[in-house]
Structure 1
Amino acid sequence: MWEINVKEVIKEKGKVIEGYYKPENIELHTGTYKVLHDGFKVRMVLAHADDKIVLGGYVRGYVERPCDRCLKISEMYIDGVIEAVYTFQKKQLPRNEELKDLTNEIPLNGDIIDLEERIVEAIVSSAPDVFVCNPDCKGLCPYCGADLNEEPDHVCEHAPKENIDPRFEKLLKIKNKQEG
């Protein structure tokens, strides 16, 4: 389903493709996660112009991922943008020449474009490095691991009684003296 014939796009001057991308899991830069619900909703528009095929669209869906603060499994929403320009002209850069052109053109090899590569690219590039289940998540106690969302008044018995950096001891003495 996620392949398109170049000749078909040229003949029709464009094409709209919609559907659901349904892998069981997706590998992101932070780990491999289960894809939820019906998978990722995908909508792509391909247009042929100036000896190029321009692709634009979106991919949206949810994965199951642990919160980076409290470690509870939560739903993470991913809203990715699909963009690509396929060209019929092959550009060869000399090996020692720096990349000066950032047009991100992909040379066409054959009559088939694999759109799945662009879908996965959009998902991976849109996934956040840090995910929290909600902005107010308090996380875990650094000493005993208690969930501070469930125990907001938690006072840990494992915490050091006085944890003062020796470099700040004099400042603490001054503060205590000023407070009386």
Structure 2
Amino acid sequence: MSRSDASSKNWLILALLSVLLIVGLGYAIQHLRSVHAEATTTDGLGELRTRLLADPSSVSGNWLRTLNPLVKTVQGDVVWNSAQQQGVMRFIDLPKPKAGTFYQLWLYDARGSSSEPVSGGIVTQGAGDNELLALIESPQVVNEPYKFEFKLHLAPQTTDGKVLLMMQP
């Protein structure tokens, strides 16, 4: 093999590697854009929270902690609007639930057809030192909530979890 043949092969390999690098960068940029879109969705909850807090028909309040040591440093609040049937929970220092457990919000409605609470959503992540926003949506209409309970659950579809946080408007 002559020196010019080896040089040509090296240039061909370098060109192929450059093309692979460019294609790889293209995929990486596309992935970063989708991650940015997910972050924007979280920002949308911040905007929704701000709009709901500004609406005089919304109910809101800070979380009241129980004596459970799991939530001794948790802070945050709840805002709910019955006309829009949505709200936002905010947490700071919420620990990630252990494997096999999850958090669930329960809303109690003074004008509801049942004395049973209504699910407002499930939270499966923690916030650490950061702020965590979670959407409150109920499968049933909640007209006049008088209590919000944030519970730790072991099994789905039960209301008998451990109450960790509570808010009464």
Same fold (TM over 0.5): no
- Structure number having the greater helix percentage: 2
> Which has the greater radius of gyration?
1
Normalising to structure 2: TM-score of the pair? 0.29
Normalising to structure 1: TM-score of the pair? 0.27
